[in-house]
Structure 1
Amino acid sequence: MQIRPNVIVLTIPLGESQVHPVLLKDEDGLTLIDTGMFDQYEALIQAIEEAGEAPSSLKRIILTHQDTDHIGNLPALAREFPVVRLFAHPGDLPVISGSQPMLKMTPERMAQLPPERREAFGRFLEQLKQLPEIEELHDAEHLPWGGGLEIIHTPGHTPGHICLYLREQELLLAADELRVLDGELAGPWDAATPDMPLALRSLLKLKDLPVRTILCYHGGVYEGSPDELIGTLTESLL
């Protein structure tokens, strides 16, 4: 779904739900924001092609954070398109590069996976160690792609979680800092957010931004501003 002339929202099935990576279109090619789960590579490529774009046009991949449903297809993409530049916040870089264990995929949780799934996840972790250099993104950094975007570091869901703000288009790519549930805007999912107080404080960085449209990785597009919800969720912090 094209929500701006140079912004395409992809939809990929994930269990009984969906996730929504984003493509930014520029003259030199495409920027992909997040990649889906590690067993969704073909679905991701199909979604890009169904959007009328060529996967071979990928030039950059921006990762909003370390969770598997966001970085899962990164190794496959890096192998297939070795010239693609990779970007992430340093708070999550050690995990994404495979040098530190994942925050939420504990050994106890790994042990609960079915054997085939556990083996596939183990292979994925090994593949992370073979990734090429990942470039760092920092809070308040401005990048030219998609008509211009700003990095907003919003830790809590993970240490290196970021949102992307396209100011001229009044568009917020909220990753997992916000969700859409039954058509309504919601805050971070507490079960997947180890430091909820920090995640709520991070929401204050999004308040008062001129926003007409929000894209949430879980839930999709929400038309409107997040200010009312943020005010409610962070009232005790003010």
Structure 2
Amino acid sequence: MNIKASLLKLDKNTLGRDFVIGDMHGHVSQLMSQLEGLNFNPLHDRVICVGDLIDRGPESEQALDLLDEPWFFAVLGNHEYLMLSGLKYGNSRDKMLWLQHGGDWITRADRSRWAHWFEQLEALPLAIEVVGHDGKRYGIIHADYPHAHWDELEYFTPELVQKSLWSRRHFEARANHVVKGIDYLIHGHSISDGELLLGNRFYIEPGAYLGNDFIIKQI
């Protein structure tokens, strides 16, 4: 299964606030509770997730339902990739890996909903770019950005796309590498104690599925 290196550019939110969150992993109720504490207004505010909406938590179906909301945006995570590759395209290795890492919720889900979920997940971009209220350009991509310049995204090979979904190289090395062509990047995937800034990359994945609160970053 080949994933296109697609980029969704969102206009600046001039009516409300933009919040970026780490991996959701089926913890919708917790997210909504935290947003309520921030007086989240779905008519004006937006939420952008760094991927991994599903698996490990109790509300994967509800997480996928958020993709129908006009205020909710997400990039593709490695768990969504495994679901598509294993379930729709029949990659037995990816299916087994997915089921072993939280995908077993699918055995209790209504099979009639699968087609809509597949359509939603295949429409997810690999990355999102948005201008924050500070005038800075933010790039949101799940695990890593394995290149020197943001403008190279559209030319990513399948190998680079996979690294964008899976790699922890820069995070584990605590590399202060700066990606050119963008002010800041925001990643999930790799768990950190609180928001972590390395170079011009923010890591905001605290591990909600481990019982920790979401990091909700307003931009």
User: Could you tell me the TM-score, scaled by structure 1's length?
Assistant: 0.42
Could you say which structure has the greater relative contact order, defined with CA pairs below 8 angstroms and 6 or more residues apart?
2
Structure 1 or 2: larger strand share? 1
User: Could you tell me the TM-score, scaled by structure 2's length?
Assistant: 0.45
